[in-house]
Amino acid sequence: MARLNSELRTRGFLPHHTGRLVRAGLAIALVTALSVGVAAQDKNPKPAVAKGEIVAELDPAIWRIFHAKNNDYWFGSKVRGVYRYDGKTLVNFTTKDGLSYDPVGGIQEDKAGNIYFATTTDAGRGRRAQGVSRFDGKAFSPLTVAEKAAPADAWKLQPDDLWFGGGGDTGTVFRYDGRTLHRLALPSTKEGDDFLAAHLRSEYPNIKYSPYDTYIIFKDSKGHVWFGTAMLGVCRYDGKSFAWLPESELRNGSFGTRSIVEDKDGKFWFCNSLERYVVDLSGKGGPSFKKEEGIRDAKNPTRPRIVGIMSSVVDSAGVLWMATYGDGVIRYDGKDVTRYPVKDGDKDITVYTISKDNQGVLWLGTHTAGAYKFNGKAFEKFKP
């Protein structure tokens, strides 16, 4: 207290006498200040340490599987939040532990090892608010979500940025630069604007989606970002310009563009196997696309051999794997096509996503049977 009084005198806040009244008043002031400080902290408390719940198995509906740099596996579910498996214990985290919402549709990691979860308010059709939660190894904290789209100059392409979907019925995406979550509107197309003009909400109140909503965001080997939409095909952003490959070209129909993958030759596949595409930079009008023959049905070359592709990945050997909705997983090495069924007991099941872990092992998320892991010969159900 004496040292504090001396400091306050030096700064002119106390006279050069230190009687009981002064000391008593100072003590009261300090208590008051501490009380105010505590009240201020209470308004913005630090996130509580997330303990989660130790469980024996995953939710049946697993949307995403992610392998972190510290070797933890994360499983994003449709309705039960996210699960962390450290090789010994399976822990379930939900909104009770700090997630923005329980359906988890995306998982990413930044350079510092923070894990980010893209979450939605519900897993059904209709307008869905989007939230992004960050886990720093101890606690979850939400990123602030802007209600309106940022100005066009917020579109940037920086190597460490993270990208997330902007939520259903918004036609937007998020770019996170480590400080701000920028809500960005995809550039308009004639097809998209024609749809909006022909389906006014005043006349079609039950429509709860935008043609610009995204199913997938994919970053290619050059760092360019691709957006697969529900109705308008794909959009490529290279940091300077946008290039659209329309749905009229891709012909994915109501299935939309759910899968984007770059093969070992630097060519792109968009949700079907009929053609693959090359980015053409020779034109003066900016990037465009050239198509090449893909994997066609031998009995009918006008039809793709593989349909209903939900998700795709290239393995460590450069082999392309495509997870289909109801026909298992297809392996394509550039010459031969091999099908791997995915079963729960004797029942064929539908696959939601395929991913590759840090050791190159392939994983599947399914709609009704949890997660599957490739053992080198078949996909078997994962049991912690």
Q: Same domain, yes or no, for 12 and 84?
A: no
- Helices of type H across 18-97: 20-43
Structural domain count of the chain: 2
Please say which residue of 10, 25, 41 terminates a domain. Answer: 41
Q: What is the CATH number of the domain that holds 66?
A: 2.130.10.10
Tell me the mean pLDDT in the region 131-148. Answer: 95
Rounded to an integer, what distance in angstroms lies between the CA atom of residue 27 and that of residue 48?
A: 32
The whole-number pLDDT of residue 36 equals: 36
Q: Same domain, yes or no, for 37 and 112?
A: no
Q: Same domain, yes or no, for 79 and 152?
A: yes
Q: Same domain, yes or no, for 59 and 137?
A: yes
The whole-number pLDDT of residue 121 equals: 84
pLDDT digits (tens, 9 = 90+) for 185-217: 999 999 999 999 999 999 998 888 999 999 999
Tell me the mean pLDDT in the region 39-43. Answer: 38
Rounded to an integer, what distance in angstroms lies between the CA atom of residue 240 and that of residue 21?
A: 69
Give me the percent of the chain exceeding a pLDDT of 70: 86
Higher pLDDT: 45 or 129? It is 129
CB-based contacts of 152, cutoff 8 Å, min separation 6: none
Q: How far apart are the first and last CA of the chain?
A: 58
Per-residue pLDDT for 364 more than 70? yes
Per-residue pLDDT for 38 more than 90? no
Q: Same domain, yes or no, for 7 and 93?
A: no
- Model confidence at 301, pLDDT cuts 50, 70, 90, reads confident
**Is 269 strand, coil or helix?**
strand
Which segment of 46-50, 249-253, 267-271, 371-375 scores lowest on mean pLDDT? 46-50
The whole-number pLDDT of residue 3 equals: 40
Rounded to an integer, what distance in angstroms lies between the CA atom of residue 214 and that of residue 216?
A: 6
Per-residue pLDDT for 126 more than 50? yes
Q: Same domain, yes or no, for 52 and 34?
A: no
Per-residue pLDDT for 252 more than 70? yes
Per-residue pLDDT for 29 more than 60? no
Instruction: Tell me which residue range forms the domain holding 116.
Output: 46-160
Per the domain annotation, does 73 fall within a domain? yes
Per the domain annotation, does 214 fall within a domain? no
Q: Same domain, yes or no, for 32 and 55?
A: no
Q: Edge-to-edge, what's the strand order for the sheet holding 62-67?
A: 53-55, 90-93, 82-85, 73-77, 62-67
Per the domain annotation, does 25 fall within a domain? yes
Q: Same domain, yes or no, for 16 and 101?
A: no
Q: Which residues pair with 162 in a beta bridge?
A: 176
Q: What is the mean pLDDT of the chain?
A: 88
Per the domain annotation, does 138 fall within a domain? yes
What DSSP character marks residue 100?
Answer: S
Rounded to an integer, what distance in angstroms lies between the CA atom of residue 212 and that of residue 207?
A: 13
The whole-number pLDDT of residue 45 equals: 63
Per the domain annotation, does 378 fall within a domain? no
pLDDT digits (tens, 9 = 90+) for 302-346: 888 888 999 999 999 999 999 999 999 999 999 999 999 999 999
DSSP assignment string, 235-302: EEE-SS-EEEE-HHHH--GGG----EEE-TTS-EEESSSSEEEEEE--STT--EEEEEE--B-SS-TT
Per-residue pLDDT for 28 more than 80? no
Q: Same domain, yes or no, for 21 and 120?
A: no
Q: Same domain, yes or no, for 58 and 153?
A: yes
Per the domain annotation, does 149 fall within a domain? yes
Q: Which residue do the tokens 């300090």 mark?
A: 30
